[in-house]
Amino acid sequence: MKAVFKFIYSVLVLILFSSCKSGYETINFNSAQIPNPPRYDNENHWAVLPGKYPEVLDSYAPKDVSTLHADVFYVYPTLIQDPKDTRWNAPIEDEVQREVVINKAVHYQASAWASSGRLFVPYYRQAHIRSYDYYNQGGKEAFRVAYSDIKAAFEYYLTHYNQGRPIIIASHSQGTTHTKRLLKDFFDGTPLQEQLIAAYLVGMDVLPQIYDNLKPMTSPSETGGYLCWNTFKKGYYPKKKDKYNGSVTSNPVTWDTTLTTDFNDHKGFLFSNGVIYDKALKIKIIDGLVWTSLPRFPLRFFMVLKKNYHIGDINLFWRDIKENSELRTQSWLSK
C-alpha cells in the first residue's frame, strides 16, 4: 500500500509541479550574495558529461556513448521555485537542486536526446522563478548571472570537447531563455551555424525575427534551424495569450506544417513510472499554442482540471523528439 501511495504522490508531483505566481518572499538583489561561479574544468560542476552519465540515463543512452557522432548541449528549466526561498540564484552546490536536475530534468527531458548525441548538461546558477515576475526588481540581474554560466559552459565545451562535431541544442523554459541568447551569440550567422543539427527551444515564446540567419524548421529531416512549442489543454488560452501570437510554433508530432494530428500519429509520452505510452494524445496548433487532448495514461483524471501543460512540453512528446532528433542527426551526417 505504501508503494501505491508513493507512486500516486510522485505522479502528482510530476503533474502538478508548476511555478507559483504569487506570494513570493523577496529581498533586493545584492551582488555580494551571488553564489560562487562554476568552474567547468571540474567535472563535479556538470550534471552529465560523456564520461559521467547518471543511472537515470541507463535505459535511454547507448552503453558506449563514443559510438555517437553528434553532441547534445541541454539546459534545464527553472527548478528553484519555493515562494519562501529568497535567493535570486541557486548555488550549484545545492544538493536538493542537483538531485532534481538529475531525477527530473535529465531523466524526463534530456533523455529524449540521449540516443542522438553525447550529452552535456552543465549545472548553473539558475534564477529563481520569481525572476520572471520581478524582472525589473532583481530578475534581470539573476538571469544575467545564470546566462553567464551557460555561456561559460558552452565555451568550455567548444574548446575541450567539440572537435568539429555536429551539435544539438536542447532546452526547456528558463533553459530556453538562455539558449535563445546562446544561439544569437554563437550560431546566428557564424561558422558554427554549419555544425548545428537543430535547436529545440521548448517552453518559451520565440519570434521568427529574433535571428538574422537562423530559421524555423518545417520538415522532419531539415537541419540547421530551430523548433519551438508551448503546450496547453485543448480549448485553453493563457492569460498572456498575445505573448504567443506570432511566435514560432512547431508541430512536435509530425515536425512539418500540419496543424492537427490524431492519436495514431503520436509516438510516445514518457510517464513517471518509466513507461512510454504511444497514441496518447492528439494536438491542434492555434494562435502560437500547441493544444493537446487530455493525455491517455494511468491516473490521468488528476489532469482533468489542469490547463497549462508547460511541465510536460518535452516528456509528453518524448519518443516523438527522440525519433526526430535521430532523423535530423542522420540527415546532417549524410550531407
Q: DSSP for 56-115?
A: GGTTTS-S-GGG--SEEEEE-------TT---SB--TT-HHHHHHIIIIIIHHTGGGGTT
Q: How many domains does the chain have?
A: 1
Name every residue whose Cβ is closer than 8 Å to that of residue 117 and which is 6 or more positions away in sequence.
68, 69, 70, 71, 72, 165, 166, 167, 168, 197, 325, 329
Flag whether 182 is in a domain: yes
Q: What percent of the chain has pLDDT over 70?
A: 92
Kindly tell me if the per-residue pLDDT of 207 is higher than 70: yes
Name every residue whose Cβ is closer than 8 Å to that of residue 135 and which is 6 or more positions away in sequence.
143
Q: What is the pLDDT of residue 13?
A: 44
Flag whether 23 is in a domain: no
20-29, 107-116, 190-199, 301-310, range with the lowest pLDDT: 20-29
Q: What is the pLDDT of residue 23?
A: 67
Flag whether 163 is in a domain: yes
Domain hosting 268: range is 2-18+38-333
pLDDT band of 270, cuts 50, 70, 90:
very high
* pTM score, whole prediction: 0.93
Flag whether 302 is in a domain: yes
Question: DSSP 3-state helix, strand, coil percentages of the chain (rounded to 5)?
Answer: 40, 15, 45
Which ranges constitute the DSSP H helices of 217-314? Answer: none
84-95, pLDDT tens digit by residue? Answer: 999 999 999 999
| The one-letter amino acid at 170 | A
Q: What is the mean pLDDT of residues 294-317?
A: 86
Flag whether 29 is in a domain: no
Q: Greatest CA separation found in the chain?
A: 58
Q: What is the pLDDT of residue 302?
A: 67
Q: What is the mean pLDDT of residues 46-50?
A: 98
Cell numbers for 73: 548541449
Flag whether 27 is in a domain: no
Q: What is the pLDDT of residue 240?
A: 81
